[in-house]
Structure 1
Amino acid sequence: MPGNGKALAAYGRAAHSGLMTSTVVPDVTAAAERIRPYVRHTPVLRAEVDGRPLVLKLEHLQRTGSFKLRGALNALLAGERPEQVVTASGGNHGIGVATAAAILGLPATVFVPDGVPASKARRIEAAGARLVRAGTRYSDAAAAAREDAQAPGTRYVEAYNDPVVVAGQGTVAAEIVADAPEVDAIAVAVGGGGLAAGVALGSGGRLTVAVEPERCSCLHQALAAGHPVEAEVDSVAASALGATRVGEVPFEVLSGPGVRSLVVGEAEILAARDRLWDEFRLAVEPAAAVPFAAWLAGAVPGEAPCVLLCGANADWTP
């Protein structure tokens, strides 16, 4: 996959104009082949809720409890093998990178903000990575991680602002298209934008519905401003969606015409999370319920929409 935002921007424009088959799809396809031995092809669930058809992509059943393993593996497998791996994370990305590194026999260090949920910190360490707490925000942890990653032979794995990571995340959309070709829109939660951008590039031109919490909406605010901007992070879903600024690489893709940006409230998120448990016995973290909240509110268009449930890394009981 191209190594800069301008190239990916061109791919994003091609995707939204219907000219993507010769450029973008092979990259997502290559990522899928690369990571296939190590990830689960997660199932889809067709259902009817409130009299409306719905497809749920159960990516929270991925082996790390979220989609993040896909992008981490693609990043580590696509280039020259590093001697060690460093990253920064609010939780799920760190679990994905730690697991990817363990699979490939590489030492990993994950920097996290002080407020990282205990369950996610525990999973990072259980995967074999060294956990380092740095600052109160993700940006603090990222700055510390980048400094640590200056050592020779070290690969810094971006959480979302890297075309190779975006391509890896796009493999989840490719699975949706393969397993539920009738889907005409995919609703997905947005943090830094890597997953949503991957969905846009890997979904064969289907509408991407990018959904964020009202108080954690860096993409929505960037689209309004016309460029990435700093945004507040104050949401029950912040540990997974807590980027203060959408990545420039994802923004280039998500600012195209094939994307619709929505926001939902905190009460809607928690109600959607509880509904997923009550209706289907699906236990997900709040971030995964964000697109379902938008669907329940009737805001997701399409005759056969899919809601992507992105993660389940939370200690939660109904």
Structure 2
Amino acid sequence: MKKILVLGGTRFFGKKLVERLTKAGHEVTIVTRGKSEVPFDSHVSHIKVDRLDEAAFRGALEGQWDLVYDNICYSPNEAKVLCEILEGKTQKLIFTSTLSTYEIDGRVKKEEDFDPFHYEIKMGDQTEFSYGEGKRQAEAVFFKYASFPVVAVRFPIVMGEEDYTRRLHFHTEKVKKEEAMSFINMDAKMSFILAAEAAEFLEWAGFSDIEGPFNATAKGAISLRDLLSLVEKATGKQAIITLEEDNAVEKSPYAIPNDWYMTPEKAEKAGFEFSELSSWLPELVAKIAK
């Protein structure tokens, strides 16, 4: 049994991670601001604190943990403070990063396409960076300042019926209501991962001997055109799509100009086997459409 700290962990794949860890018999403590309901019994400890309140955050994290998961770090400032807090207090950190660390340039992304070890660090808080740049800066800080092993897990968009962002739901609802959606390039391909598999990979990353950045994605990619075809099949209706800027038409959260997907080859060589995107995406679209 290990003592594990999870920053975040009440929703979506973070919740599934905590469920996996507790089922395996580990002693889990979650850290949240207390704004979301805690969906666990008393067997999961809960520290209620806002990490942006640095003094309170430092005071709240006084224990020792074998393993720490950080699902809610979005800036270099947050990463630096956590490195300082965890000095001598943990054996490993798993940081939830993102496909957004990579440029949308049409090339299949490998880990070396963003090198956090030689990236120029510019300290600041969340408000000073885009989502992708905040994650790039956080990775760079963790790998420079942490005195313990760090894994940066780069996820694409995570999918699931419980997705609170409702990005896939957006498309099924628009098609069912026969409302238009705006895109940029319907032939652009994307990669995704299922929430349960994301949680499984996070658990595996914590207990394996890997370090450094790792892509974590289902194998394969799908064009937005083919994704909308799945939605049309599931709803029995035709999608109304525009490729022109129109303030009266909501833009798809998947509206990208070029291919934007990555390969999980590095992680698979390290021993983790990912699912095929095509093996679960049609079923998920059908479930959400209902």
TM-score by length of 1: 0.26
TM-score by length of 2: 0.28
Structure showing greater Rg:
2
Structure (1 or 2) with the greater helix fraction:
1
